[in-house]
Amino acid sequence: MAVPIAMSMLVQTLYFIIDLYFVSALGEAAIAGVSTAGNLFFFVLALTQIFNVGCATLIAHAIGRKDKSQANKIYSHSLFYGVIATMLALAIGYLFAHHYFASTAADQATYQVCLDYFYWFLPSLALQFILTVIAASMRGSGLVKPFMLMQITALLINALLSPIFITGLGLFTPMGVSGAGFASSLSAMLALLMTVIYLTNNRNTLQVEKANLTSDWATLKQLLKVGVPAGSEFMLTFFYMAVIYWALSDFGAHQQAGFGLGSRIMQCLFLPVMAIAFAAPAIAGQNFAAGKLKRVYVTFKITTLITVLFMALISVLCISVPHIFFSPFSDDPDVIEAATTFLSYVGYNFVPAGFVFAAAAMFQAFANTLPALLGTTIRVGSFVTLLMYYLSQQALTVTTMWTISVVTVYIQALVVMVLLRVVLKDKIFNKAHKRANKIVTAAA
């Protein structure tokens, strides 16, 4: 299951990478503007994680209990909430996004690029709620590949349309950065259309029950209980990145552009690890619900081993040769220097970050995502506190910011390690001991 999920996540990230690639020829203000606007992707991602984690976990548990009727019910109610969330995202984005950009953009040119790109990109973001509900629900039931293929198709169309809309061709007049956002939105609409057609013609998947395509407090409560802590983690990530963009605004647009490039490349490099971490909860969750505790623990050990090894390899590349990742995106030496500096510093936190991914996967499998949220809260809180201290002392430099980031990830990993030991003892070892005692008692 990990390979299809890796491809699915790669496709989602490449939407933004493609936009960055084609607008890079428009200058550092375009890169900085698209990167800053793209940070709102994390805000939407935080909200979609409520559905992503909630639907996948609850449906995986239902499938593990062989209760497909309950799985269909959860899927139907979740889809209703996904549609409502899409409508709200569109309304809030068009009404209030300009306030966010006014506080984070380095200059007026960057601010205008943010607006030009984001207003056309917003439909793509908003549709992620519906697409996430469907994909996460199907992933919880074990179905991934068809949706991966549809996303790849939509991505290829996005790659074809972006340069046409940005620079113009034939009947199409140049739209600049707006064209990149428009191409992404059209591609997302196409992905949704293909998804609907596939589900309509395939009766072996989870089915939407019209009677349950309404609000349901019991289902919403379950989704929020499991999904909100995970979504809050991504919300904290959005806040963390927003603080960095705000702090970098004093250092110029080239630093914002470099951070934007570096962070997106880092996300791409993380995809194999995140794919494994996203696959593990469904596998471990089904086995946990079925009472197969040994398989749950084996899933944890394998997930941790693979994620840490992958992260170690990526870390070596980013620390030793970070410049190889950025030449296709910019020929501005200041932007390249900012991006390579960022990646060479944060490369030192990849290994502990890999452990955090593996631990978060297990928390999701147990439908207890609060420990992962606590770890992220401590990390972001520590980062912001130290950042503000250096600002108050007028001693903040860009490299100091990246050093603080590395230190706080190690703090997060230590906190998560302690919390995971507590949860594993409670969920696996204590439960296994109780089952053994019951068997002995019954035999006696």
What is the DSSP code string of 133-161? HHHHHHHHTT--HHHHHHHHHHHHHHHHH
77 Cβ contact list (under 8 Å, min separation 6): 212, 213, 214, 215, 216, 219, 220
Assigned token pair, 342: 């960022």
Helix 40-64, helix 253-289: angle, nearest 10: 10
Which pLDDT value is given to residue 77? 92
Q: Do residues 178 and 117 make contact, with C-beta atoms less than 8 angstroms apart?
A: yes
Phi and psi, residue 169, nearest 5°: -160, 125
Burial of 156 (0-12, 13-18, 19+ CB in 10 A): middle
User: Which of helix, strand or coil describes residue 172?
Assistant: strand
Cα–Cα distance for residue pair 133/143, rounded to 1 Å? 13
- Residue 394 DSSP code: T
Q: For 224-227, which contacts have Cβ atoms below 8 Å and span 24 or more sequence positions?
A: 224/50, 224/54, 225/54, 225/367, 226/53, 226/54, 226/57, 226/58, 226/364, 226/367, 226/369, 227/49, 227/50, 227/51, 227/52, 227/53, 227/54, 227/55, 227/369
Which pLDDT value is given to residue 5? 43
Q: Do residues 195 and 205 make contact, with C-beta atoms less than 8 angstroms apart?
A: no
Length of the chain: 444
Q: Which of 358, 327, 175, 191 has its CA nearest to residue 265? A: 327
Helix 2-23, helix 177-200: angle, nearest 10: 150
Does this model's pTM top 0.75?
no
Which pLDDT value is given to residue 429? 55
Which pLDDT value is given to residue 284? 76
User: Which of helix, strand or coil describes residue 169?
Assistant: strand
Which pLDDT value is given to residue 438? 52
Q: Do residues 1 and 299 make contact, with C-beta atoms less than 8 angstroms apart?
A: no
Query: What percentage of the chain's residues is helix, strand, coil (to nearest 5)?
Result: 85, 0, 15
Per-residue pLDDT of the chain (444 residues; tens, 9 = 90+): 444 444 445 555 666 677 777 777 777 777 777 777 777 777 787 788 788 878 888 888 888 788 888 888 999 999 999 999 999 999 999 999 888 888 877 778 888 888 888 999 999 989 989 998 998 888 878 777 788 788 888 888 888 888 899 888 777 888 888 888 899 899 999 999 999 999 888 877 888 888 888 888 888 888 888 878 767 777 887 888 888 988 888 888 888 888 888 887 887 788 777 777 777 777 777 777 777 777 777 888 888 898 899 999 999 999 999 888 887 776 778 888 998 999 999 999 999 998 888 888 888 777 777 888 889 899 999 999 999 999 998 889 999 999 999 999 999 999 998 988 887 777 665 554 455 445 435 444
Which pLDDT value is given to residue 1? 42
